[in-house]
Amino acid sequence: MDAYCTDGVTSEIRGINGYEDGQILASWASPEGRQNIDIGKQIFCNSAVNMKNIVAIGFDMDYTLAQYKPETFESLAYDGTVKKLVSDLGYPKELLEWSFDWTYMVRGLVLDKKRGNILKMDRHKYVKVAYHGFRLISKNEKVATYGNTFIRDAFDGPDYAHIDTLFSLAEAYLFAQLVDFKDSNPGKISEEKDYSCMYKDVRSAVDLCHRDGTLKKMVAKDPRKYINEDNLIAPMLKMLKTSGRAVFLVTNSAKPSFFHDENRANLFAVETESGKLVNTDNGTPLAQVGDPDIELPHQIPNMRCKVFQGGNVGHLHKLLHVGASSQVLYVGDHIYGDILRSKKVLGWRTMLVVPELEKEVKVLSSSRDTRKKLQLLRSERDQIEDQTHHLKWSLEHENLDAGEKEKISVKLDLLESQRARVRAAHQESQRIFHQKFHPVWGQLMKTGYQNSRFADQVERFACLYTSQVGNLGLHSPAKYYRPSEDFMPHDSDILS
């Protein structure tokens, strides 16, 4: 059901976390909540947000309020997709023997559907790491494919797919498996099915899995197997409501069109016990035609509907008494579906949930010495290269006698040897450092020294970002989130 709730979110989450009203305490207000917050649970700020000005806070459900366990939930989705490929789309039965490594893929990758490649790029869209299936593409091949065009590809066309949600990791892994299988087993997959066609089939199989309700039934049957318990969520929601904020949930496929005010979809109230839809006038239930004496529970004075289907963001603003879009904070996990639309289209303030961030910041925190070593090695490389360029210039452009040229040549040989050693040490140290984050793709938010494409999107579209939605409960509901000072290269060199 495409629905949004303007109240009652706490009771929805209680089924996952097992809280009763009497047990709910604001995490921030508790003695533990006033202590130093673990770095993995902090809220980071790109654009200032004064919570005193926020009157309504909305949440996505999947991977936001409901934190799925990738090792079980994504494996369930993967197995269902493989079965659909074999049974519905005619792929070889060998696929049924495959398994899913949920740790392999990361967000922020781009699939080159035409070539069968998986790419990680920096914020300037330069490809830094590339695999064909599971085969690492060499530097020369990578440059020849992605680095030599006069106008570089924007990677946004129909030939590319963006892995920006945790739901996409299984399909990316399956695509890589199919690429390897096709390359290694000529004839097993029809020649008419190129890499792009295989990706299209994977997407179709994924949609079939979600459409037939199998995944939902399995999760509903045993929620604890597929959803992580987060004891911070219920207290956080209670704290926000107690502080006077309206709390709402916008979930499922309602969101793409829901975020556009020109969408004229009718707004229906949902009778939660029966599932019955009731016509409304901007949220006020209307008596049913032909049954004028019907008594609706929501017609009782001062009672409002809590769950709705359809409608658009204009209806929501009226129901929440929102005077300006900037008074709404929306929390979600999807850069495009949740954060970009709600910020660029609506002007809402945004918070992105990045579960991977908890590990990322802890590794960074424990690697201060390594990062200093890398900075020193890079600085040493730069100094040696500067000296080398200066000496080469002297040899080529200055009038020197034979003795002077001989001395400079000896110095150059020594510097070239030194540069090779430092370069090798720097590259190896950097490789080991990035493998601490992920053995294949490295640091989520970086590619080398540049911010990754994913980090660039987080910085541009998320006012706030954090590892778990419950982290909101560790901070005052009146907190003023302020960004750190921006630094340009000349600033950081002077201040370091």
> What is the chain's mean pLDDT, rounded?
85
Residue-level pLDDT at 324: 87
Which pLDDT belongs to residue 305?
65
Phi-psi sector, 426: left (phi>0), alpha (psi -120 to 50), beta: alpha
* Range of weakest confidence among 270-274, 288-292, 332-336, 373-377: 288-292
Q: How far apart are CA 428 and CA 433, in angstroms?
A: 9
Q: Are 90 and 426 in contact (CB under 8 A)?
A: no
pLDDT at 207 over 60: yes
Quick check: helix, strand or coil at residue 93? helix
The pLDDT score that the predictor gives to residue 346 is 78
pLDDT higher than threshold 80 for residue 13: no
Beta-strand ranges (E) seen in 25-75 are: 44-45, 49-50, 56-59
Other C-beta atoms closer than 10 Å to the C-beta of 410 total: 10
Model confidence at 319: pLDDT above 90: no
Token output for 269: 């109230």
> pLDDT over 70 for what percent of the chain?
82
- What is the model's pTM? 0.85
* pLDDT tens, residue by residue, 414-450: 999 999 999 999 999 999 999 999 999 999 999 988 9
Contact 116, 195 (CB under 8 A): yes
Q: Tell me the per-residue pLDDT of 210-230, one tens digit each, with 9 for 90 and over.
A: 888 888 889 999 999 999 988
Local structure of residue 339 (DSSP, 8 states): I
pLDDT reported for residue 33: 53
Q: What is the pLDDT of residue 34?
A: 54
